[in-house]
Structure 1
Amino acid sequence: MDLNTVTAVISPAAPGDWRPGDAWLGGGTALFGEPRPEITRLLDLTAAGWPPLTFHGDHVEVAATCTIAQLAAGLGERFPIVLECCHAFLASFKIWNVATVGGNLCASLPAGPMISLSVAMAGTCVVAGPDGSSREVPAADFVTGEGRNVLSDGELLRAVRLPMATLSARTAYRRGSLFRHGRSAVLLIGRVEPDGELSLTVTAATKKPYVVKNVDGLDDWVDDVHGSPAWRRHLTHRYAAQIRAELMS
């Protein structure tokens, strides 16, 4: 969709360039998806030159501008759960080569699979402010509701840090949709903790991500054309039981 109120594109852009009416631009697949008359300038992050993946001893740092294709190529073979979440996009290679990890988190839609991955892997979001400051936010706390997150005006998501320990843990994945190639209506990831306990990450079915030991107490179901709350609740409980049987047997 054309953003016909945009009068300038700043490329490359840095946190200090932000002013009211600006929007950070990554791949743009979410940004250009609907009218945004409040936006007058785009600040291009893709020209910033951030390496897509940076490996450290205990974690891998995924740049916000890392594309889904780069994430799959860099981590998918070693960590199958990464590839599962990449394929949850059900998108063409064109989208895989444009859509970014950061854009998916910042769109903060319930069905965002990069949200699912970041939360399930106990990731940490690195947030940069327009004044040059930086703060870290647990991925589980980054999305606060449908289309809402913790970013303040001018802040941007710089990277997501995924611990190697959680990436290497035993996991199980379940995804449900009303249609074979439809948007995720329920997405659960189970992970075995170091103490042998099971953690369940619930996304797509709920308005924000939840990390729980069991799903009995959840009551925050999404209600839209992709599935009713009752159906999402039923499928969440079914998948949780399957994951528990798979990982705890």
Structure 2
Amino acid sequence: MDMPTVSELIRTSDPQDWRPGDAWLAGGTVLFSYGSDTLQRLLDITAAGWEPLAVSDGGLEIGATCTIAELHAFPGTAPADVRTRWPALVLVRPCCESFVASFKVWNVSTVGGNVCTGLPAGPMTALTAALDGVALVHSPDGTCRRIPVADLVIGDGVTALAPGELLRSISLPEAALRARTAFRRQSLTNLGRSGVLLIGRVDEDGGFVLTVTAATKRPVQLRFPALPAAVELRAELNGTIDGGLWHDDVHGLPEWRHYMTERLAEEIRAELAAAGSGPVSEPVSAPASAPKEGSL
């Protein structure tokens, strides 16, 4: 950690206390690891007393300061009727485990912090966006606004949060939690950062939603009124994600991410089709184009 310009640590969760040169502090795992030579104060929200997880008839509210350890434990400790009513809770543990981090990080890193960093591979962004999560944001002028998590992260390390705004919680609606889901993740190494992370779901009305993260600079969602055919899904992927949207870093080149996204999307579609009442659609007539030599 290298933050030589920070002179104050203030315990507050009031956005009206914010001023230029401040940073909100929750778990701080990314903030401390990256360091800063411009920040002057840290506004610590860890003592705000926000409830980590709240179950209601409308769904699940996740407090921004909920730790990854608390969220990971939830599917095993939730009431039996909740686990039965919300089959999409099966996504919680694989998403938490996509951090590939030690229990020490899990015990301090927070759901809100992971989303607010705006990292393409952020697994909490993947989880909450895939389940139509809506963020409650408090502003320095005393107002509040709600924004879908899928629209909150808008680029690599970039969010739609204005200066001083504070993420209070993320609400997952009942309808999404009742959906059947499928999860796929791929990394270049066994313990590496996610290079591709896709989540598909089929709602009770038969609608299909595919959420693409890690492979792209921001979350991308495709929505269909019913499970599409393989060729339809691939066409929609290629029509929605242009070349500049594929992420490019040491954890995977764009060509590889594109190829794996097509491949894993089809696996998800086929899995959900097979688990439903209808027959599995015919596979794509031609295999997805393999990445160019050396792109792995």
Aligned residue number for residue 9 of structure 2: 9
Asked if structure 2 preserves the Cα contact closer than 8 Å seen for 1:26 and 1:44, the reply is yes
What's the counterpart of residue 28 of structure 1? 28
Counterparts in 2 of 1:1-249, with a 5 A limit? Answer: 1-75=1-75, 78=83, 79-213=89-223, 214=233, 215-217=237-239, 218-219=241-242, 220-249=245-274
* Segment drifting more, 212-221 vs 165-174: 212-221
Distance 2:112 2:259 in 1: 31
**Cα–Cα, structure 1 residues 28 and 52, in superposed 2: closer, same or farther, change >3 Å?**
same
Amino acid aligned to 1:12:
T
Task: Letter of the 1:136 partner, please give it.
Answer: R
Corresponding pairs, count: 249
Structure-2 separation of matches of 1:211 and 1:103: 22
CA contact (8 A) 2:178 2:204 kept: no
- With structure 2 as the length reference, what TM-score do the two structures score? 0.82
Distance in 2 separating the partners of 1:120 and 1:87: 16
- Cα RMSD for the two superposed structures: 1.2
**C-alpha contact (below 8 Å) 2:2/2:36 kept by paired residues:** no
Q: CA deviation at 1:174?
A: 0.3
Higher mean C-alpha deviation, range 182-191 or range 162-171:
162-171
What displacement does 1:62 show?
0.5
Flag the structure with higher helix content.
2
SS in 2 for 1:70: helix
The share of aligned pairs that are identical, in percent, is: 55
- Work out which of the two has the higher radius of gyration on C-alpha atoms and give 1 or 2: 2
Displacement of 1:183 in angstroms is: 0.2
- More moved, 28-37 vs 174-183: 28-37
Q: Is the 8 A contact 1:15 1:128 kept in 2?
A: yes
Structure 1 segments unaligned to the other structure (5+ residues): none
Tell me the CA shift for residue 13 of structure 1.
3.7
TM-score by length of structure 1 reads: 0.97
Shift of 1:216: 2.5
1:31-63 deviation line (CA, Å, top 9, x unaligned): 112132221000000011111011221111101
Gaps of 5+ in 2: 78-82, 84-88, 224-232, 275-296
